[in-house]
Amino acid sequence: MNEFLYVISFSILVTMALALARALAGPSVFDRILAVNMFGTKAVLLVAVVAFISGRADVLDIALLYSLLNFVGVVAALRLVERGKFYASVRPRVEVKPGEKP
Amino acid sequence: MIVDWISGAFLALGAFLSIIGGIGLHRMPDFYCRLHAVGVTDTLCSFLILCGLSFQAGLSLVSAKLFFIFLFLFFTSPTSSFSLGHNAWKWGLNPKGVKEHAPTVKIKVTE
Amino acid sequence: MMHYFSLASLLMILWLLLSGHYNPLMIGFGVVSVLITLLLSHRMRVIDEESHPVHLTGDLFKYWAVLVYKIFQANIDVVLRIIGVRPIEPQLIRIPFPQQDDLSKVIYANSITLTPGSASIEIYPDSVLVHTISKEGAQALIEGELADIFPIQQDEHNGKQS
């Protein structure tokens, strides 16, 4: 069973690599934050799988904590984009009504 | 033995869905569509992997912890993805490839 | 008072499940931390119907059961669209809320976002702007896929919010 868990953790690592590639290539800052959010969620799952590989149940607490930290980090980064002069002042705000073509 | 097979199937399906989500992150045309690809890995993929792990742990404190991890992921993922979409919309990022805009519709409102 | 009791019991269950030690000292620490948390949330005035909707617990569980089934269906749909079996046709639609108080609005918009294939991106006073990945998903939302199964609140709570 342990070898199978190694395969699972490797496929989660592949997904994390794909998310990192999107974070490096993303055209807008929101793509990058989205990819980092997905990276964090996959990191939580990876820590849970690693806890089962090593046989220590205490590692699960780290996964629990990291899921909360990841959420707070994403919301804080978005608040920084919204409030600060962080990439957001380049483009004027465009008002698009949902009935019209953009 | 059967439990091992069930948990193995759950884990394999979850890992498959996570790779699909990673591919979708690169195949989708614009930011708003990528939001849906990440939604797949946030809901069903994490559910399957954590469920498969808790089959291995059996009914114990470990599976309770796994359940709490799942609960936190499940409650925080719509909040963060709404926050992302809302910020991108307010910033002025227009969705690509929207062919037609459906007009405002009225569904029946429960009194 | 009901809300304080539900918050205290939830926190105590969380402590007992996460600590795993059942000697009197650790349980005593747990009781003390629960009391401190209750005091802090009382001073922050966050204990009310919005943070603890005890009045719709039963309906909420029924709603969640149906929602999990819908999420499962939507996941398969989005996976097929990522692989390329079905086409990707993004749509923007605006959907009115089934009920007008704040808690129902939050639950409705969050369930739309939680379902893969549709994400709410803007909240207006009477409606929500939704980005869907397909025409079929947009049509199903317009016809009231989620609104039909939405739990109906009692009148006493409806009146208080507005």
On whether any CB of chain B is under 8 Å from the CB of A3, the answer is no
Residues in chain A within 8 Å Cβ distance of B46: 41, 44-45
Structure tokens at A61: 């607490």
pLDDT tens for each residue of A54-67: 988 888 889 989 99
Other residues' Cβ atoms within 10 Å of the Cβ of residue A100: 8
Give the residue from chain C lying closest to B65, CA to CA.
C18
Q: Answer yes or no: is pLDDT of C156 > 50.
A: no
Structure tokens at A54: 């090593």
Per-residue CA distances from C90 to A95, B97, C72, C131 (Å)? 19, 6, 20, 7
Buried b (16+ CB within 10 A) or exposed e, A50-84: bbbeeeebebbeebbebbeebbebbbebbeebeee
Per-residue CA distances from B8 to A4, A43, B37 (Å)? 8, 20, 24
d(CA A91, CA A58): 47
The domain locations on chain A are 2-83
Q: What is the pLDDT of residue A88?
A: 47
Residues in chain A within 8 Å Cβ distance of B16: 11
pLDDT tens for each residue of C73-88: 889 999 998 888 888 8
Could you tell me the pTM of the whole model?
A: 0.83
* Facing residue for C92 by CB, picked from B77, B88, B101: B101
Mean pLDDT of C128-137: 85
Put simply, the answer to whether A57 touches B61 (Cβ < 8 Å) is: yes
Predicted ipTM > 0.90? no
